[in-house]
Amino acid sequence: MFNLLKTAILMAAITALFMAVGAMIGGQTGMLIALAVAIAMNFFSYWFSADMVLKMYNAREVDASSAPQFYGMVRELAQKAGLPMPRVYLIDEAAPNAFATGRNPEHAAVAATTGILRVLSERELRGVMAHELAHVAHRDILISTVSATMAGAISMLANFAAFFGGRDENGRPMNPIAGIAIALLAPLAASVIQMAISRAREFEADRGGAEISGDPAALASALDKIHRYAQGTPLPTTEAHPETAQMMIMNPLSGGGLRGLFSTHPSTEERVARLMAMVRR
């Protein structure tokens, strides 16, 4: 219940940020338009964002005949988790990563890159897909997809403010310096909100994935391996759409220093440490 309340507050915050940017561009009228757009986007995201994200990554759906081992693994894990069988997708990218999406467990999809299938052992891959199914079971998938859509819209709106300016309710042009500040700070604020939504959920999905697979050590090993491989292998779609990075099991955009402070994922070291503590228990 606490996580649900926290998520509701954070989603309200990202909607309020969207409205605030609208107000800076067009005053009260801009704020009301932004509110209407936010409501429409949340409605659209609820019904269509999963397919939109899968299409964005050129994901191809597979089944028991086209990818028997991978599909069979997901089916077995879904049965262990007591979940409906999700749609299963592969993404032809060398970077090792995976994500889950959909509006609820009955309309869920899991996707993995071909790179992760090559890099991980069968045990490690089971841990990763169990992690994604834990997101489905915890109903994280809708929140992550909607927040990604909203964060992307905030970035576009902020860029519009920087390049084309805006007007207040009295029709006065917006200060160009204010426009540049919006372009820089609004996406950063959206990222901070996404980070708050995502970090706690990743720990819960690690724990849930370890319980579904029954092998926390394998998931810990997978996370460590993905972290090492992903650093030298870019994921172009995520680079082009950074708001989707928080959906991945490992943020491919994470880095050291200031950038790492705003990562939507906890540190790999801490995630591995928690999983190994489960092994010892």
Binding residues for Zn(2+): 131, 135, 202
3-class secondary structure for 130-158?
HHHHHHHHCCCHHHHHHHHHHHHHHHHHH
H-helix or E-strand containing 100?
Answer: strand 98-102
DSSP state of 174: P
Contact 118, 98 (CB under 8 A): no
Calpha distance 199→204 (Å, rounded)? 9
The tokens for 23 are 């107000």
The Cα 106–Cα 84 span in angstroms is 6
**Cα-based angle 144, 147, 151 (whole degrees, multiple of 5):** 135
Map residue 244 onto helix, strand or coil. Answer: helix
- Between the alpha carbon of residue 254 and those of residues 26, 36, 111, 124, the distances in Å are 34, 33, 20, 21
Could you count the other beta carbons within 10 Å of the beta carbon of residue 222? 31
Residue 132 is among the residues annotated as catalytic for this protein: yes
Q: In terms of Cα–Cα distance, which of 135, 149, 69 is closest to 104?
A: 135
Of the candidates 93, 106, 124, 132, the residue annotated as catalytic is 132
Annotated binding-site members: 131, 135, 202
Report whether 274 contacts 131 (CB < 8 A). no
Residues catalogued as catalytic: 132
